[in-house]
Amino acid sequence: MKEQKKHTKIMLAWTLAWIVSLAFLSYGVNYSLWDNLLITKIGLLINLAIGVGMIIANKNLFKHYDELQKQIQFEAMALTLGLAVVVGIVYEISFDFGVIDSEPEFEYLVFFISFTYITFNIINSRRYK
């Protein structure tokens, strides 16, 4: 259990680092803190590297889960992935077919994925208690 808490903190640190780097990159590009494509490319590579670190930290955390925790996570991930694909495609073709007026924004899909994953983790945790 002590090892799992350590890996949870590591996972949290990587996740926060990724979110901060993504926010800084987005803010910098959108509000013209720099007008240099090279800086943007370097920022993207740094964000990608931190994202890979976050994925590795998540994988390492999974090694310390018991079977029930793994089951809860796998079910939440499976449902989230399925819904993300279905909702994402419907969202995109809704614009293509003229059902919605504004072009689909990826940020909304990311919010949907995050909300879905958290929700299914809570539901599954309560279901298996």
Q: Tell me the pLDDT tens digit for each residue of 54-67.
A: 999 999 999 999 99
Residue 47 CB partners (closer than 8 Å, separation 6+): 18, 21, 22, 25
Residue 27 to residue 43: CA distance in whole angstroms: 11
Closest by Cα among 111, 124, 109 to 77: 124
* Tens-digit pLDDT profile for residues 76-129: 999 999 999 999 999 999 999 999 999 998 889 999 999 999 999 999 999 987
- The verdict on pTM exceeding 0.75 is yes
